[in-house]
Amino acid sequence: MSQRPDTAEAESLAPETLEGWYVLHDGYTLDWAKWRSMPGAERALLIDELAAWTATAGTVEQGQSACYQMLGQKSDLLWLHYRSSPAELGAVERGLRSCGVFDYLVPSFSYLSVIEASLYEATAIAHGMLARKGITPGKEGFDAAFEAELEVQRAALNQRVFRDIPAQNHICIYPMNKRRGEHVNWYDLSIDERRKLMRGHGKLGRKYVPAVTQVISGSVGLDDWEWMVDLHSDDPLLFKKLVYEMRFDPASSRYAEFGAFLVGLKLDDNALRQYLAL
């Protein structure tokens, strides 16, 4: 890894972010006609191989993998991979291509991103913590106290960006951008306006914790949208409730652009085998 350039100069404009696992969403449609035309014994072997591959991918030392049955015609099966580098995701991709079942999979959706936590919030929380202790900007000792508090927040965030794949049994994924319209342009707002909007937005998201687990990954410079959002919940109706409620929040109503939404059901080893069996 090369040394990172000093980005301090631009920090007044671009919010600092903390990154964790790189993420690959990898969706496929099964060619059922071809799949059905294969002798059953051969198919059983391919199912064993794929199930073993999925299980192994799910228990690597660095990262995790899971498999979902997607609803509708957008994808039949989708694998979600968390890894520590694009190169490792490349190896995972190549690994699936080595499985015999890959001859029956038609690529339908993929997305590359990296789990991130915005420090918009950490900064705000640190300010709030100190304020409650009477330590306000300008006061003696503020700088040191602020840096210490921020470090605490950063450590908490670090754990969040290197998290496990949530255990909940439904997934909802969608990409989003902040609008860069001719009149309404997120990137032309001051950092204070953006921070304020994101704070309200975050509050709304936290209302659904722990019923819905949000995993936000950034994809600026990695894929076609700016963020990928993964929601995990045992109650799929909450996907609708949460996203709809957010749609009225100014950070979304004015500034968010959404791509396609995919919803799926988590498959354990047994359910994956059953899905593929004929």
Q: Footprint of a copy of itself on residues 222-241 (CB under 8 A)?
A: 222-224, 231, 233-241
Among 156, 185, 193, 269, binds a copy of itself (CB under 8 A): 185
| Alpha carbon distances (Å) from 195 to 15, 119, 171, 182 | 9, 10, 28, 21
- Packed helices 191-207 and 237-247: angle between N→C axes, nearest 10 degrees: 150
Length of the chain as a residue count = 278
Identify which of 119, 100, 204 has the alpha carbon closest to the alpha carbon of residue 160.
119
Report the distance separating Cα 15 and Cα 191, nearest Å.
8
Among 67, 112, 157, 197, binds a copy of itself (CB under 8 A): 112
Task: Based on the shown chain and the rule CB under 8 A, indicate whether residue 124 belongs to the binding site for a copy of itself.
Answer: no
Q: What is the DSSP string of 18-31?
A: EEEEEEEEEEEEE-
Smallest separation (angstroms) from a copy of itself to the CB of 157: 16
Give the per-residue contact string, 247-266, with a copy of itself (x = CB under 8 A; - = no): xxxx-xxx----xxx-x-x-
Task: Based on the shown chain and the rule CB under 8 A, indicate whether residue 275 belongs to the binding site for a copy of itself.
Answer: yes
Residue 265 near residue 169 (C-beta atoms within 8 A): yes
Whichever of 64 and 84 has its CB closer to a copy of itself, that residue is 84
A 10 A CB-CB count for 168 gives 18
Residue 146 near residue 126 (C-beta atoms within 8 A): yes
Amino acid, single-letter form, for residue 38: M
Q: Footprint of a copy of itself on residues 43-72 (CB under 8 A)?
A: 69, 71-72
Task: Based on the shown chain and the rule CB under 8 A, indicate whether residue 268 belongs to the binding site for a copy of itself.
Answer: no
Query: In the annotation, is 174 catalytic?
Result: yes
Q: Footprint of a copy of itself on residues 125-184 (CB under 8 A)?
A: 170, 172, 174, 179-184
Smallest separation (angstroms) from a copy of itself to the CB of 12: 9
Q: Which residue has the tokens 């704070």?
A: 199
Residue 180 near residue 1 (C-beta atoms within 8 A): no
Options 46-54, 124-132, 142-150, 216-224: segment touching a copy of itself (CB under 8 A): 216-224
Residue 31 near residue 102 (C-beta atoms within 8 A): no
**HSE toward the beta carbon, residue 224, CA cutoff 13 A:** 9
Smallest separation (angstroms) from a copy of itself to the CB of 81: 11
Among 33, 61, 132, 134, binds a copy of itself (CB under 8 A): 33
Whichever of 58 and 218 has its CB closer to a copy of itself, that residue is 218
- Which listed residue (82, 111, 120, 174) is catalytic? 174
Among 13, 152, 156, 167, binds a copy of itself (CB under 8 A): 13
Among 48, 147, 188, 193, binds a copy of itself (CB under 8 A): 188
Size of the site for a copy of itself (CB under 8 A): 98
Residue 178 tokens, joined: 């902040």
Options 29-37, 59-67, 141-149, 159-167: segment touching a copy of itself (CB under 8 A): 29-37
Residue 155 near residue 122 (C-beta atoms within 8 A): no
Catalytic center residues? 174
